[in-house]
Amino acid sequence: ETGVTQSPTHLIKTRGQQVTLRCSSQSGHNTVSWYQQALGQGPQFIFQYYREEENGRGNFPPRFSGLQFPNYSSELNVNALELDDSALYLCASSLGGGTAEKLFFGSGTQLSVL
């Protein structure tokens, strides 16, 4: 167990809807990163938040947005869902945002878009 918790574990939505995924960081960690993992692929970096500010973004459209709260928990919001958004969404937390940090991953949210 890493101490990183994600909710919900599974979610089914229809195309065009909006979804919010949640992540609670490991105690003491102030940096959260989000990844998308399509079936049979490695995870792809979406973005990172450090002390409530976005601190780097991958190649994802603006309809993917996020928030980090003062307690360092985080949300991933996806608007106008598309079928290709079906994937496992992983949250990872780390301490301090430095270069040598190890990332600790949660168990993920499995999103299905119909």
List of residues contacting other proteins (CB under 8 A): 2, 4, 6, 31, 33, 35, 40-45, 47-48, 50, 55-58, 88, 90, 92, 94, 97-108, 110
Q: How far is the CB of 16 from other proteins (least distance, A)?
A: 26
How far from chain centre, in Å, is Cα 29? 15
Q: Which helix (H) or strand (E) holds 67?
A: strand 64-68
The smaller minimum CB distance to other proteins, of residues 27 and 100, is found at 100
**CB 35 to other proteins: min, Å:** 8
- Of 113, 108, 89, the C-alpha closest to 13 is 113
What single DSSP character describes residue 108? Answer: -
Whose Cβ is closer to other proteins: residue 19's or residue 109's?
A: 109
Strand 53-57 with 104-105, pairing: unpaired
